[in-house]
A = this chain, B = another copy of it.
Amino acid sequence: MYKLSKNVEVSLTVIRRLPKYHRYLSDLLDKGTTRISSQELSILTGFTASQIRQDFNNFGGFGQQGYGYNVEDLQKELGKILGLDFKYNAVVVGAGNLGQAIANYKGFEDAGFKVLSLFDRNPRIFGLKIRNIEIRDMETIEEFIKENNVEIGIITTPKESAQEVADIYVKAGIKGIWNFAPTDFIVPDNVIVENVRLNESLFILSYFLKTLHQD
């Protein structure tokens, strides 16, 4: 269980639903919808209306009986809970296609996450720029992180290098690691690791495709 500022303990399962609510509410805002009931949110999200009400109650409610939720207020509040009102500096280690794709994705920057630099060990790509973001020598990363107030370290290396990169990040004072390498690594308890498991997602698709073949 995780402690919120309000001393409420909220499970990781609830927390993992928050970005989803935020996405649906942002889409509703884009469409000009001003208010929505938990029943309507249920249809959109696939979660039950009572689950939705319970989730929001963890964070202090937001809804009004008979009115539902004000879309703009709720989206803003969820954004604050998710820390989207902060600005984070990030770096990427592993300047291959995936690293470049992440550096190149303007959507992350719009949400407050700015990739300042890519790092790699391949001298042939040092100095190259992706959307004005320079690829630098891995040897200079620790200094760069400290000088530029970088809080998020992204790992897009092969799995064999992930632990080494994580160690460098920890030594340089990185607080959160966004890991795309298909492996686990060991970091101190106060460093947050969020994994993107592309292989595992693909295998789930494969599982269900296989069941189609069996029908």
The residues of A with any CB-CB pair to B shorter than 8 Å are 2-5, 15-16, 18-20, 22-23, 27, 81-84, 86, 88, 96-98, 100-101, 104-105, 107-108, 111-113, 151-152, 175-176, 178, 182-183, 190, 192, 194-214
Q: Lowest 3 CB-CB distances: which A-B pairs, in order?
A: A83-B210, A97-B101, A19-B200
Partner of A151, one of B107, B152, B209: B209
A205 to B28, alpha carbons, bound, how many Å?
24
Asked if A192 and B175 sit within 8 Å, CB to CB, the answer is no
Asked if B204 and A19 sit within 8 Å, CB to CB, the answer is yes
Instruction: Point out the residues of chain B lying under 8 angstroms from A105, CB to CB.
Output: 97-98, 198
Instruction: Point out the residues of chain B lying under 8 angstroms from A111, CB to CB.
Output: 199, 202-203
Partner of A199, one of B107, B192, B211: B107
Instruction: Point out the residues of chain B lying under 8 angstroms from A108, CB to CB.
Output: 199, 202
Instruction: Point out the residues of chain B lying under 8 angstroms from A190, CB to CB.
Output: 212
Asked if B206 and A201 sit within 8 Å, CB to CB, the answer is no
- Beyond A113-B202, A183-B27, is A207–B100 a contact (Cβ under 8 Å)? no
The interface residues of chain A, by DSSP majority, are classed as helix
Asked if B86 and A207 sit within 8 Å, CB to CB, the answer is no
Partner of A207, one of B82, B199, B200: B82
Smallest CB–CB gap between A66 and chain B, Å? Answer: 28
A110 to B162, alpha carbons, bound, how many Å?
20
A197 to B104, alpha carbons, bound, how many Å?
17
**Chain B: CB-nearest residue to A198:** B196
Smallest CB–CB gap between A47 and chain B, Å? Answer: 13
**Chain B: CB-nearest residue to A204:** B194
Asked if A201 and B209 sit within 8 Å, CB to CB, the answer is no
